[in-house]
Amino acid sequence: TKIGEINLSNNLIENLDFSLSLPVLKEINLSNNKLTETPDLSGSENLRKVNLSKNEIVDGSAASSWGTV
């Protein structure tokens, strides 16, 4: 099974303190949570869309490893 899209919106997620390595993932929705920093998605090289709206992000440094999203 190949996961192309994940919707984790509206789950009160405060952090994702692990590296998400899903090479076939194309879209992830993490909106409406309580994230304070961008998650490490560097292992998801086919990722094209990331929704982090309505979070509390103050540290976006992990996003620099995403490449072009």
Determine the 3-state secondary structure of 58 from DSSP. Answer: coil
Question: In which element (H, E) is residue 29 found?
Answer: strand 27-29
pLDDT in tens, 6-19: 999 999 999 887 66
pTM greater than 0.85 (yes/no)? no
User: Residues 59, 36: contact at Cβ < 8 Å?
Assistant: yes
Provide mean pLDDT across the span 34-42. Answer: 89
